[in-house]
Amino acid sequence: MLASAVLLAALVSPGAAADPPPADVVIYGATSGGIAAAVQVRRMDKSVLLIEPSSHLGGLTTGGLGATDIGNKAAIGGLSREFYTAVGEHYAHPEHWVYQRPEQYRSGKNKVRLDPENPEPFWTFEPHVATNVYEKWLKEVGVEPLTESPLDRSEGGVTMRDGRITAIKLKDGRTVRGDVFIDATYEGDLMAAAGVSYHVGREASSVYGESYNGVRPEMPYQGRVRSHYFIKPVDPYVVPGDPSSGVLPQVRSEPLPPVGSGDDGVQAYCFRLCATDVPSNRIPWPKPEGYDESLYELLFRNFEAGDLRIPWLHKMMPNRKSDSNNKYAISTDWIGQNHDYPEATDEERAEIIAAHENYQKGLMWSLANHPRVPAEIREYYSQWGLPKDEFEATGGWPPQLYVREARRMIGERVMTQADCQGRTAAEDPVGLAAYNMDSHNVWRYIDETGHVQNEGDVQRGGFPPYPISYRSIVPRREEATNLLVPVAVSASHIAYGSIRMEPVFMVLGQSAATAAVMAAEQDVPVQEVDYAALRERLLADGQILEWTGGGGRAERVAAKSLKGVVADDEAATFTGEWEHSVHVGPYVDRGYRAAEWDGRGERPTATFTLTAPHAGSYGLRISCVPHPNRATAAPVTVRRGDGGTATYALNQRQPRAGEAGPGYVASYVVGAPGERFTVTIGAAEEGYAIADAVQLYPLGETDAATDAAED
């Protein structure tokens, strides 16, 4: 059964059952945020009705996204943290490690702790584990979701009276009534049907004064790395060199609008594949019915042009499974093919989902089998396949499309880039966001050289967790007074890219439910819920509303304040996948990079180049604050201009004691000015390797700022 058929079956389900009884709170969308909201309502002793348009519960959290995206885990509290702790409890039992021993699992995100009585949050997991946690939660609080129950989104599907939603109609004819409603869908369907204002696409940078919004060609990650762009010239025409032959599929023929202008483009979607390399549990990549080789012509040409990077982001989960995401020029994101999705009918969406499924199945089959794919890449992908013990109803394929962004409400307050970067701060927080501003590509276009290029990828961090306003999850008062929207929140495109993470959706779902119960109890509009009382209850329930854990500007050390020559990570050259972070400070300038490696494929590296300004004795320092999740033996290679090479194994978990100061690697005597030093830091097989900055300083001229950056 196709995963897309899960939704289609819901759209044609026959026969109307009796109307369900009215509820204090009605939640539409059993995503991670919707489930957290339902549990919170019941824990506050109110009735709830949880409605899901498909048969799938849990959204992306149960749909393959097992490598939790969150910039700083300490920013996550409440039910969201309770969820990840429940995952940790599961993996604390040795019997749950079927395809590997616990000590064989390596992940920089967490360590296995075999102590089920004292579990800790575990941030990487198999899909069925997440499903089991949610199902247990719902059973414990007595919530039985209405699945395969899509909203009637035609005119009249939502009944409004004096600004209040009084009833919603489902496609099977049932009518649902409640005091307060929560739209927890990725698409914002209930919000839109209720007539609440929203935006689709990218605002122009001028709308909210944002430097990263709007059309953004060539936005390399933190200045240098071109992870999601073409790095080789690839011809975009059906007949190479002949524009009259037309463009290949997925390539925009029109010129891009001016930089920073708004458009209706939507960042690309994909399926977060759960894959395995265990032969007994592996289903070979299926070749989709009607396989269309032309959809992969750009892939083949890109390989033939010399881009031999493995095109997926591959994070290992327990039991030899992985969470696989988009990476590099051509990968699992089907760029430009989802723009109609947000406003499409249910039937049209089912077609778009099926097309994405067929594309991605064909992509994986091609990578493992097509003769125009290099042999070493075919061999690599042939070792992987879909797991037999996940998503059994759909042959191992995840049933949830990764809808990264669709509609975004325009509420009482719009979260913007200024919130992310701390230039403004919400005074009524209901949770924290902690990820960098993350937009995937929106278009493929023909650049000024006549070659294909991607557009829309923006990855900008360098800021600590920041507050999300209560007013960003409620509509304008004149539009709806008993609706909360914790998923399709009121945010600009670029700010939504930071907020839109599954742990945050659970945080906001819980906060929305708390406010909904208060509004129902007091019979007031959601806009008039007493924030002081709301805040008190959220804190009592373990929510984190303010960031006090560091990572702010006070913990940044300016490179220009350090002695000697400093090369920051933004001036380094990277291979492989490195994540920008501000988790642990102090750090130099805007943050640092972190990488983990499972010992397979190419080791990720970070290369810094420094030039000695004059002759003399120098010390070499690598900036890294020790932390328990760091690498115990990050390989470091120092190459000198005179041909000398030295290698070191750097333990980044422990400070390097000694009179030369923390982070000290070695001393060098430079005979003449202008000698170049090239320092390469590699990822290790245990823990995160950190690449922040490298300092070449005259011995005897150390500075306190450097010591602070590395204690």
Q: What is the pLDDT of residues 614-638, one digit of tens each?
A: 888 888 888 887 877 788 889 999 9
Q: Report the alpha-carbon distance of residue 530 to residue 517 in Å, rounded.
A: 12
Task: Quickly count: other Cβ atoms within 10 Å of residue 16's Cβ.
Answer: 12
Give the residue among 542, 100, 142, 462 at the shortest CA–CA distance from 277: 100
Statement: residue 480 has pLDDT above 90: yes
Q: What is residue 167's three-state secondary structure?
A: strand
Q: Report the alpha-carbon distance of residue 481 to residue 338 in Å, rounded.
A: 32
Q: What pLDDT sits at residue 354?
A: 97
Q: What pLDDT sits at residue 552?
A: 43
Q: Report the alpha-carbon distance of residue 613 to residue 565 in Å, rounded.
A: 8
Q: Are 663 and 681 in contact (CB under 8 A)?
A: no
Bond from prior residue into 586 cis (ω within 30 degrees of 0): yes
| Six-digit token string for 613 | 């300004």
Q: Are 501 and 533 in contact (CB under 8 A)?
A: no
Residue given tokens 């009884």 in the structure block = 21
Q: What pLDDT sits at residue 226?
A: 60
Q: For the residues 591-606, what does the mean pLDDT come to?
A: 85
Phi, psi of 96 (to 5 degrees): -85, 0
Confidence of residue 655 (pLDDT cuts 50, 70, 90): low
Buried/exposed code over 516-547 (b: 16+ C-beta within 10 A; e: otherwise): bbbbbeeeebbbebebeebbebbeebebbbeb
Model confidence pLDDT, tens digit, residues 257-267: 999 999 999 99
Q: What pLDDT sits at residue 559?
A: 86
Model confidence pLDDT, tens digit, residues 347-381: 999 999 999 999 999 999 999 999 999 999 999 99
Mean pLDDT of the chain: 90
Q: What pLDDT sits at residue 661?
A: 44
How large a percentage of the chain has pLDDT more than 90? 75
Q: Report the alpha-carbon distance of residue 214 to residue 620 in Å, rounded.
A: 42
Q: Report the alpha-carbon distance of residue 421 to residue 208 in Å, rounded.
A: 14
Statement: residue 322 has pLDDT above 50: yes
237-239 vs 242-247, strand pairing mode: antiparallel
Ranking 283-287, 479-483, 685-689 by mean pLDDT, the lowest is: 685-689
Confidence of residue 94 (pLDDT cuts 50, 70, 90): very high
How large a percentage of the chain has pLDDT more than 70? 92
Q: What share of the chain is helix, strand, coil (3-state, %, to 5)?
A: 25, 25, 50
SS (H, E, C) 308-357: CCCCCEEEEECCCEEEEECCCCCCCCCCCCCCCCCCCCHHHHHHHHHHHH
Phi, psi of 651 (to 5 degrees): -85, 105
Compute the CA torsion angle 519, 523, 529, 532 (nearest 10 deg). -100
